[in-house]
Amino acid sequence: MSNKKNDIKHKTSVGGQALLEGIMMQGPKGAYMSVRLPDGTIETEKKDFKRLKDRFRPAGFPVIRGVVSFIESMVFGFKCMTLSAEKAGLDTEQEQENMSKLDKWITEHMGKKMMTALTFIASIIGFALAFLMFFYLPTLLVDLFDEYLFLGAIEKLHPLFEGIIRMIIFIIYIFAVSKVPDIKRVFMYHGAEHKSITCYEKGLELTVDNVRGQCRFHPRCGTSFIFVMLIISIVISSVLALVFKGIDEVRIVWVGIKLLIMPLIMGLGYEFIRYSGKHDNVVTKVLSAPGLLMQRITTAEPDDDIIEVGIDALKSVITENPEDDAI
């Protein structure tokens, strides 16, 4: 099988997200979610997803649209993930049996409002841990290495080494998570999502046999987006450190600056992913390579029953005219 981009006949803007026992797809017909139910059937339903750019024109401007799209996708994706878990029966009796006594007491005496509040608190803690892991820790490690191992010799290269350490932490984290059984299933659905879209882009009939034969890696994947952002952050941080000398000396301030430029990095990363979806050149190949390699972890070869879900989800969002979803 050839995986070359010149096999692609139609470059689509259709994209999706792997869920728990399901796939969400977005296309010209809107957003649809297909889930494999406990009885073995596939349920496909349309989800209400109104984009800000449809109501507020500036939200669709280049760079800005990347930030808006990222936030919208995170919120909408989380809702779909939660709903898919409920539909697939992963949130029912078994979880009730596994609930701790404290969880049961809170649910019985304080109801859903308290559980909602606890979920919100858990989310805040999660964001705090992500900040410490991906922003503060790389900066701290580079400072320690430079002081005790390199004796200040890499002072001007701090942004570069911070970026490299951030990538290493991200890879280790994803690899560890991939060992969780439920996540392994999600990664199989991720592979089915990519394979289905690639089959459609090649102009092939959307059958299990055709989809099975496609590559599970795709350049417009969110994994590639994250790596592109990491690379862009290294470039921008290095430029800032060189232009504004001493800006990275006060570490708390430096971490704060990197947080402030995150929207710009997201926006530029989004524009690159859009560009790479249309073009195949040296720049897109080099910057897309780390993300494509990472997809060896974040995707897995799907079973035929998983491929069926991907096909159902994709068919729900496309029209008979491919130009309706052209990039």
How would you write the pLDDT of the chain (327 residues) with one tens digit per residue? 444 445 788 889 999 999 999 999 999 999 999 999 999 999 999 999 888 888 898 999 999 999 999 899 988 998 999 899 989 886 554 455 555 555 565 556 555 566 567 667 877 887 788 878 887 888 889 888 888 887 778 877 888 888 899 999 999 999 999 999 889 999 999 999 999 999 999 999 999 999 999 999 998 898 888 888 988 999 998 888 888 877 777 777 887 888 899 999 999 999 988 888 777 788 888 888 888 999 999 999 999 999 999 999 999 999 999 899 987
Q: How far is 182 from 21, CA to CA, in rounded Å?
A: 9
User: 6, exposed or middle or buried, with CB in 10 Å at 0-12, 13-18, 19+?
Assistant: exposed
Contact criterion met (CB below 8 Å) for 19 and 81: yes
* 43 within a domain of the structure (yes/no): yes
Q: How far is 211 from 198, CA to CA, in rounded Å?
A: 8
What's the number of domains the chain is made of?
1
pLDDT at 115: 56
pLDDT at 295: 94
pLDDT at 3: 46
Residues of the domain holding 249: 5-90+153-321
Q: Which amino acid is at 288?
A: S
Q: How many CB atoms sit inside 10 A of residue 131's CB?
A: 13
Q: Which two tokens stand for residue 255?
A: 């971490």
Q: How far is 105 from 99, CA to CA, in rounded Å?
A: 10
pLDDT at 91: 56
Three-state SS letters, 30-84 = EEEEEEECCCCCEEEEEECCCCHHHCCHHHHCCCHHHHHHHHHHHHHHHHHHHHH
User: 292, exposed or middle or buried, with CB in 10 Å at 0-12, 13-18, 19+?
Assistant: middle
Q: How far is 77 from 74, CA to CA, in rounded Å?
A: 5
* 168 within a domain of the structure (yes/no): yes
User: 74, exposed or middle or buried, with CB in 10 Å at 0-12, 13-18, 19+?
Assistant: exposed
* 290 within a domain of the structure (yes/no): yes
pLDDT at 223: 86
* 16 within a domain of the structure (yes/no): yes
pLDDT at 318: 96
Q: How far is 141 from 154, CA to CA, in rounded Å?
A: 13
pLDDT at 129: 84
* 303 within a domain of the structure (yes/no): yes
* 260 within a domain of the structure (yes/no): yes
pLDDT at 257: 87
* 138 within a domain of the structure (yes/no): no
Question: Measured at the alpha carbon of residue 199, what is the angle toward residues 198 and 204, in degrees to the nearest 5?
Answer: 145
pLDDT at 103: 59
Q: How far is 241 from 159, CA to CA, in rounded Å?
A: 8
Contact criterion met (CB below 8 Å) for 227 and 206: no
Q: How far is 263 from 270, CA to CA, in rounded Å?
A: 11
* 143 within a domain of the structure (yes/no): no
pLDDT at 89: 81
